[in-house]
Structure 1
């Protein structure tokens, strides 16, 4: 609920492709930084406005990665402040720290007279990735589909290669697969598939947490706990993107220092339920259950106390409960009418 902050990573790319993606990200964060810096310096953004990665990324039509880098640069320049909540605060003109101002983020709130021009940069796969992810995540709960590259390319106004790159990232999440005839297939999402993912996560995530724990910084854990406490106090402020960020903190950031890269790759491939749950919460505009937040909090409290046995046990408890909640959501989806899906998702009888 990153993540990615991301919920899962990008797929392996060739050296040339990696260089292109890195250059693309550098260009994006610089453009975002410059536009936000200008708006803040001109006094067009209210001091104290809480800036969050997800909403700002949507306004700029990009992913969270360049937004996060732009925020870090603005923070280093004294234009943004960190605080005990999630995100950053816009500083006063004199650099002092204002009270948090939480309002819906929009073009107007960011000081733009109109929506920023799309960041037309070399790679478009990042631009279409989230739309594909959302469509597939919802669709697989309703059946088995073939994703037609040509139709998707036409729908998004990009090349088939761009669509293929985005679908390859979804394959790494376990959301799609490629058949022996090179067709992209998705679904159906079954209780058995969910159970298998959670079985893997129960075996692997506690082990990864133990291996990562010596490298976790106390200030990171304290900030994550502060985010959770605010979410518990004000759950109505936590939308699908905010919940995904909390999930990413626990299930990605707290595990990423484990030295066994293959272990982390296997965990990443079993994170499909996280992506589907994000789509479910987003589609129905839901807020997290108190139990989910309390379970996350228990893990972080034990990590801060350096009680690794208790932290691993709390993580196992959370995963078992999350498995049951995910199955309940599948049952809810099963009785709902099938949504209107994009034409590039062709049902397989």
Structure 2
């Protein structure tokens, strides 16, 4: 896979492209926690002007991936136990809302998409394909968001996901690499197929709670200290 800075960014939507490139580099750890980012340097490496890079850094600051003091520094945030816990609480509530409001509107196509996404996820887990697993997991949970028909819900969830993805990327086998998630997905699909929105929402929330507990254990063991 090419490095994040190997190819110039094509026009248009330059700030969006810069945002995605930097976000992926932060999530993967290629840009390390605490590392300083200089907009002029990033702009040169990506073949952009400084304006779209500054816009991208502002968005990354809003997601919590970058911390900045205007005119002084911008750097990759460290993994903060309190901030991660707060993010997980919000994501759990949002995902629960998406499932509860989405299930009544699910069609056979929605269910087929969930099953295909879980198959893709299982295959990615077996191959230890972290990027593929993220994409499949996001696609799986994205079905409920689509069915809910709430664009605000999607925007907020998309803004929060990268913080959790940073940890999942570092501890893939521990947190996302087992078969528990595959089985959870399969059980969730069956509840959705039965139209049991309340049970599906509860199951989805329980999974986020379980994930939060695993992440908290890693902080307790000092395995997520940066």
Same fold flag (TM > 0.5): yes
Q: What is residue 332 of structure 1 aligned with on the other side?
A: 223
Q: What is residue 305 of structure 1 aligned with on the other side?
A: 194
Kindly provide the CA deviation profile for residues 244-268 of structure 1, in whole angstroms up to 9, marking residues without a partner as x. 1222123333224435544444433
The structure whose Rg is larger is 1
User: How many correspondences in the alignment?
Assistant: 220
| Equivalence map 1:113-132=2 (5 Å) | 120-132=10-22
Alignment pair present for 1:254 and 2:108: no
Gaps of 5+ in 2: none
CA RMSD of aligned residues (A): 3.7
| Equivalence map 1:310-321=2 (5 Å) | 310-321=199-210
Deviation for aligned residue 1:119: 8.4
Cα distance between partner residues in 2 of 1:267 and 1:292 = 19
| Equivalence map 1:144-163=2 (5 Å) | 144-163=34-53
Alignment TM-score, normalising by the size of structure 2:
0.75
8 A Cα contact 2:18 2:56, kept in partner? yes
Q: What is residue 82 of structure 2 aligned with on the other side?
A: 192
Deviation for aligned residue 1:269: 3.3
Q: What is residue 135 of structure 1 aligned with on the other side?
A: 25
Deviation for aligned residue 1:313: 1.2
Which residue of 84, 95, 99 corresponds with 1:209?
99
Deviation for aligned residue 1:228: 1.9
Cα distance between partner residues in 1 of 2:123 and 2:141 = 22
Cα distance between partner residues in 2 of 1:234 and 1:142 = 25
8 A Cα contact 1:143 1:189, kept in partner? yes
CA shift in 2, pair 1:233/1:250, >3 Å: closer
Cα distance between partner residues in 2 of 1:168 and 1:276 = 19
Gaps of 5+ in 1: 1-54, 62-116, 339-349
Deviation for aligned residue 1:215: 2.8
